[in-house]
């Protein structure tokens, strides 16, 4: 008996932050399962919260038609529901309990044979833990941060880069007109990919990323140097996970019931104030925030998401579980979740993208 013949019903959930292209993956998983293998599909609502609380819906062909271009996720998501450290809404960290057995029970109750988990490092780490409890899982890497190990790129990243680039383009004209330093704060958490690639595409003069400690003296000299060369404005792109030179993140708050309790944000305003005080150049900060995660996915992300969704079903049909489908070169290949869980893909010193940015004069605040 082939592996696919043992599969009758598949479940799919989306965890973590929303991201352009999630619906394209859901569409590809459901349609590939139905058309190529005759699988029934079930959508699990609000990420792992739905698996804990047994909130599921049947998904047929028509339910996933017309969602290729739609942002967000039709299933809903949660970035606080952690089955192994579960905290009820409004609870405190000390109230956390392990409800993973409840997830297994609800999985079996729904008659599911496979669980497809679409998400970032947190979602995929949980998927790996569930696999250790016997659930057949396949992961699909999703994040605008592009920080998942085992894949060259994640869907959603290209769309976010386009949004960052367009924002910088628009701020460029304002900076020129008013002779200001414009600070653009991007998302990305502890990885600098979004600020680096988006800043490079938008012609950022100074790009600060978490992987490269910066010095305010170097940043301010870059701003002053541009003024002396007749460039009476500067574009400074900074990732939300950049620390102040003296150490410590700038935070916008905490969410106690979340596994990732701190919420980054505010480094852009801090940086603008520092630049203006030290250089005398009028500086303004723009925090792009959640606009980077919304809207319709680019053509690249639509195609990538569709490929990833299809390949995830193929892995399950061929009997490979506890894996993620990752992009390596031009191919999509299975990657053991053990190689993905609790890890982050950061910008390294030998990155060709980083070298290219330095070669065209971009300042990273370190030299």
d(CA 240, CA 301): 23
d(CA 308, CA 24): 9
Closest CA to 290 of 265, 254, 267, 256: 265
**Residue 339 known to be catalytic:** no
d(CA 26, CA 28): 5
DSSP for residue 289? G
CB 33 within 8 A of CB 39: yes
H or E element in which residue 283 lies: strand 283-287
- Distance from the Cα of residue 195 to its chain's centroid: 13
Compute the radius of gyration of the chain from its Cα atoms.
22
CB 325 within 8 A of CB 133: no
CB 149 within 8 A of CB 195: no
What's the order of all strands across the beta sheet hosting 181-186? 206-208, 234-239, 181-186, 283-287
d(CA 255, CA 257): 6
d(CA 266, CA 235): 17
DSSP for residue 88? -
Q: From the candidates 18, 145, 205, 301, give the one annotated as an active-site residue.
A: 145
Alpha helix segments (H runs only) across the chain: 22-37, 48-53, 100-109, 121-132, 157-178, 193-201, 216-228, 267-279, 299-317, 352-359
Closest CA to 233 of 156, 320, 149, 173: 173
CB 57 within 8 A of CB 73: no
**Annotated active-site positions, please?**
145
């Amino acid at each position: 008996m082939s592996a696919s013949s043992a599969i009758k019903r598949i479940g799919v959930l989306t965890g973590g932050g929303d991201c352009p292209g999630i619906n394209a993956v859901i569409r590809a998983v459901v349609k590939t399962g139905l058309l190529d293998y005759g699988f029934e599909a079930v959508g699990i609502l609000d990420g792992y919260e739905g698996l804990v609380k047994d909130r599921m819906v049947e998904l047929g062909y028509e339910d996933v038609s017309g969602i290729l271009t739609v942002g967000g996720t039709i299933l809903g998501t949660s970035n606080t529901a952690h089955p192994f450290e579960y905290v009820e809404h409004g609870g405190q960290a000390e109230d956390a309990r392990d409800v993973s057995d409840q997830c297994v029970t609800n999985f079996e109750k729904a008659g599911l044979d496979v669980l497809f988990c679409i998400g970032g490092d947190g979602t995929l780490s949980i998927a790996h833990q569930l696999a250790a409890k016997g659930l057949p899982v396949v992961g699909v890497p999703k994040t605008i941060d592009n920080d998942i190990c085992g894949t060259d790129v994640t869907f959603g990243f290209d769309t976010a880069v386009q949004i960052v680039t367009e924002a910088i383009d628009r701020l460029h004209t304002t900076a020129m007109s008013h002779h200001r330093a414009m600070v653009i704060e991007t998302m990305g958490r502890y990885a600098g990919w979004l600020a680096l690639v988006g800043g490079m595409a938008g012609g950022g003069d100074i790009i600060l990323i978490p992987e490269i400690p910066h010095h305010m003296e170097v940043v301010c000299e870059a701003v002053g140097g541009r003024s002396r060369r007749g460039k009476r404005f500067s574009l400074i792109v900074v990732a939300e996970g950049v620390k102040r030179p003296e150490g410590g993140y700038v935070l916008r708050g905490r969410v106690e019931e979340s596994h990732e309790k701190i919420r980054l944000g505010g480094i852009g305003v801090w940086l603008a104030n520092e630049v203006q005080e030290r250089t005398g150049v009028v500086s303004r900060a723009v925090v792009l925030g959640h606009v980077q995660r919304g809207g319709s996915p680019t053509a690249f992300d639509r195609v990538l998401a569709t490929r990833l969704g299809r390949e995830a079903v193929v892995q399950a049909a061929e009997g490979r579980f506890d894996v993620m489908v990752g992009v390596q070169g031009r191919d999509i290949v299975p990657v053991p979740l053990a190689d993905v869980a609790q890890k982050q893909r950061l910008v390294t010193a030998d990155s060709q993208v980083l070298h290219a940015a330095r070669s065209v004069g971009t300042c990273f605040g370190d030299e």
